[in-house]
Amino acid sequence: MITVSVCMIVKNEEERLCACLDSLRDFADEIIIVDTGSTDNTKELALRYTDKVFDYEWTGSFADARNYCFGKATCDYIYTADADETLDNENQAKLRALKEVMDEKVDIVQMYYCNQLENNTIYSFDRELRPKLYKRVRGFEFEGEIHEMVRLEPRVIELDIDIIHKPGIGHASRDLKAFERLAEREGNDGMPKIMDERLEHIYAKELVIAGEYENYEPGYKYFSRVAELDYIGMERLGIAINMAAICAARRGDNIGFMKYALRAAAGNIMTSELACELGAYYESMHDINEACMWYYNALRECEPAMDINYGAKVPVEAMERLGMDATIYLDRE
């Protein structure tokens, strides 16, 4: 039977930590908690479950903290958890059963992350697979009867185990501050650096879904810079142009808003999010016909890129608020 280290990084999680650990304690052979600067009772609560509680000076990088935590593990496999996750009794039983039958040649086990759309997260699916269990030490081996090669790709399996995700209120604001720090970095040449495309898209999602007024100025500064680059792909360029327009609109900069909205329209790269922003603009100007036209475009002519709600729920509610029956347009092709 395999052994499992549950590894967590935490900060000020006293309200949720016990529920998470209660759902994992019968699965874990060891629990490792790395605290990045809690000022509440998180560490005291963690010590009820394990003596492996470590302080870690925050570097601004979640990857650094995760790697430090993984480095403390001693079991065959590492299960990575966050304090805002729980498992019900049925899925706890599935986890315990997994230890009995696990093929030790498997490198990664993916499980279902659930409850995504209920809590204003950046994810577009209510239930999606995530890698959760990792082999701590991966051995390399040859494969192939002839012209043998070392197997480099990990062996990954997917299991029908549901992990309930319930993020707290401050989750998004913390992440946006981290993105703003990334957006301000300079390269060796003294010029601002841009993020990798994956992080950049997550930043866009965070801004659309959970941004506040103070987040839109740094968002506009970053995405308007990316929108002027000539060496990135069209999909990435389209996101940047749409996000520059959205951030400008939400900070009341109508000149910047129209500049990038027109560029998106001319390039046929407008997203449902930006079309809704145009609808909201004309609604605020009491031009109901124009507002409904843009909400219709969000629903039928564009696709959402940051938040799926802008492809259905948001424009439908807006059109109904303006006295138009939008349900007849809901069957997207």
The residue whose two tokens read 């039977």 is 1
- Burial of 159 (C-beta count, 10 Å sphere; 0-12/13-18/19+): middle
Q: Is the pLDDT of residue 177 over 60?
A: yes
Please say if the pLDDT value at position 131 is more than 80: yes
Average pLDDT, stretch 46-67?
94
Tallying the residues shown for the chain, one arrives at 333
Kindly tell me if the per-residue pLDDT of 291 is higher than 70: yes
Work out the angle at residue 10's Cα, subtended by the Cα atoms of residues 51 and 199, and round it to the nearest 5 degrees.
Answer: 140
**Number of Cβ atoms within 10 Å of the Cβ of 278:** 25
Place of tokens 């498997």: 106
pLDDT at 332: 46
Mean pLDDT on 51-80: 94
Structure tokens at 14: 């006293």
Percent of the chain clearing pLDDT 70 (strictly above): 91
**pLDDT for position 171:** 62
pLDDT of res. 333: 45
Give the C-alpha separation, 246 to 315, whole Å.
16
Does 136 score more than 70 pLDDT?
yes
pLDDT at 107: 94
Query: Domains along the chain?
Result: 4-165 (3.90.550.10), 171-329 (no CATH)
Can you give the pLDDT at residue 323?
Answer: 87
Token code pair at residue 146: 């002839």
Q: State the Cα–Cα distance between residues 29 and 108, nearest whole angstrom.
A: 18
Q: Do 27 and 16 meet the contact criterion of CB atoms below 8 Å apart?
A: no
Q: 111-130 pLDDT, tens per residue?
A: 998 865 555 555 555 678 89
Q: Tell me what percent of the residues of the chain surpass a pLDDT of 90.
A: 72
**Could you write out the three-class secondary structure of 248-271?**
HHHCCCHHHHHHHHHHHHHCCCCC
Mean pLDDT of 236-264: 97
Torsion of CA 82, 85, 91, 92, to 10 degrees: 60
- What is the overall mean pLDDT for the chain? 90
Separation CA 331–CA 262 (nearest Å): 28
Q: How far is CA 215 from CA 117, 142, 206, 273, 320, in A?
A: 22, 51, 10, 17, 30
Q: Does residue 147 have a pLDDT over 70?
A: no
pLDDT-based confidence at 165, cuts 50/70/90? confident
Mean of pLDDT values over 280-288: 96
| Distance between CA atoms of residues 85 and 17, nearest Å | 9
Q: What is the pLDDT of residue 141?
A: 79
E strand or H helix at 316, and its extent? helix 313-321
- Count of Cβ atoms closer than 10 Å to residue 146 Cβ: 4
